[in-house]
Amino acid sequence: MSATDATGTRNPDTLAGLSGRSSAGAPARRPRRQRRMKELLLAFGLLLPSVVIFGVFVFYPLVRQIYLSFFVTPPFPNQPKHYAGFSQIQQVLSSHDFLNSLWVTLLFVLFTVPTGLILGLLLAVLAHQRLAGIRFFRTVFSSTVATSVAVASVIFFTLLNPQIGLLSYWFGQQGQLSVLDDPRWALIAVSAVTVWQNLGLAFIIMSAGLQAVPDDLLEASKIDGARAWARMRHVILPMLSPTLFFAIVVGTILSLEAFGQIDILTAGGPLQHTNVLVYAIYDQVFNQNNDGRAAVMTVALFLITLIFTLGQIKLLERRVTYER
């Protein structure tokens, strides 16, 4: 980044530092170096708070997690942890618990992301109309964006309760085993709660994407007599591809990081069937007191998130139509 750009040289007193007035007296005589120095200092001061926070709470922990994954946590506190090289990493990565968590996480992403995407798109297409009262429906469809993960989870915790839950009653499951305790259904139930909670977000993203599609384009295809599905496939979806791409990336990251719904609804159970990676890490730290194993899993989570995000960006970028 060169500091001697056009604007800088043309007006010597332009970026005169924090107090412009002090320099107003002798703008021309002001040495350029000093001015550049002042700008540098200002930039430093403006960026410092963010840099400190990122350094302490983002980059340092990332490095330390990688470092910690080489050390085995002793079985009793106050003993020194010892360096184990790659043996702990290897051991964790091949352990049954870790592979199970990986599988559960993958299933969870598969259950939540496509479903949320399709439902969000459906609602958005339906609400993309000039109708009386459409604003009300749009607010309703966005509304779950205001339910935090804890609120959504507690709502469904009560709805699925075998004694008082209405959903258990309507499904004819009253007084029986809760779906949250049923190994076959627990992950599906947690996924459904997640889809509902993120439906508002999906709807908002899809609606914004639809609004960016020029109306005349839609109208033109209507007059052409393009059938609804053909119109969807050949006109709307290509125009919407940047939005779909964004929604997939955001949705995947959200699902990979899911924790609250697991903590409130199932605590990883029954029989580890909902023990997603983040919950497994939490469990290692707070229940097993094994920071070393937790560190390995954290690094794995980081790499998976990274691979997913970068992979999606690369894969989808080729198919995305950026034409506007």
C-beta closer to other proteins: residue 56 or 220: 56
> Taking CB under 8 A as the criterion, which residues in 251-270 touch other proteins?
253, 257, 259-260, 263-264
Q: Is 250 in the site for other proteins (CB under 8 A)?
A: yes
> Taking CB under 8 A as the criterion, which residues in 48-77 touch other proteins?
49-51, 53-54, 56-62, 64-65, 68
Q: Max CA-CA distance within the chain?
A: 87
Least distance to other proteins from the beta carbon of 245, Å? 7
C-beta closer to other proteins: residue 88 or 243: 243
| Alpha-helical runs (H) found in the chain | 6-10, 32-54, 60-68, 87-93, 96-127, 134-142, 149-159, 166-170, 186-212, 215-223, 228-231, 237-256, 260-265, 277-286, 291-319
Interatomic CA distance for residues 193 and 66, integer angstroms:
33
Q: Is 126 in the site for other proteins (CB under 8 A)?
A: yes
Interatomic CA distance for residues 320 and 316, integer angstroms:
6
Residue matched to tokens 């969870």? 108
Radius of gyration from C-alpha coordinates of the chain: 27
Partners of 71 in the β-ladder: 83
Least distance to other proteins from the beta carbon of 111, Å? 18
| C-beta separation of 42 from 17 below 8 A | yes
Binding segment for other proteins (CB under 8 A), chosen from 72-80, 145-153, 178-186, 214-222, is 145-153
Interatomic CA distance for residues 206 and 197, integer angstroms:
16
> Taking CB under 8 A as the criterion, which residues in 147-176 touch other proteins?
147-152, 154-159, 161, 163-164, 166, 169-172, 174
Q: Is 295 in the site for other proteins (CB under 8 A)?
A: yes
C-beta closer to other proteins: residue 187 or 248: 248
Least distance to other proteins from the beta carbon of 184, Å? 18
> Taking CB under 8 A as the criterion, which residues in 6-45 touch other proteins?
7-8, 11, 13-21, 23-24, 27, 36, 39-40, 42-44
Least distance to other proteins from the beta carbon of 273, Å? 20
Among 196, 221, 237, 238, binds other proteins (CB under 8 A): 196
Q: Is 220 in the site for other proteins (CB under 8 A)?
A: no
Give residue 165's identity as a one-letter amino acid code. Answer: G
Interatomic CA distance for residues 139 and 230, integer angstroms:
29
Among 75, 129, 130, 216, binds other proteins (CB under 8 A): 129
Cα-Cα-Cα-Cα dihedral of 30, 36, 40, 46, to 10°? 60
Interatomic CA distance for residues 297 and 289, integer angstroms:
14
Binding segment for other proteins (CB under 8 A), chosen from 90-98, 109-117, 144-152, 175-183, is 144-152
Q: Spell out, one character per residue from 104 to 123, where the chain touches other proteins: x when CB under 8 A holds, - when not.
A: -------------------x
Number of residues that bind other proteins (CB under 8 A): 115
Give residue 48's identity as a one-letter amino acid code. Answer: L
| C-beta separation of 140 from 226 below 8 A | no
Interatomic CA distance for residues 320 and 289, integer angstroms:
45
Least distance to other proteins from the beta carbon of 222, Å? 11
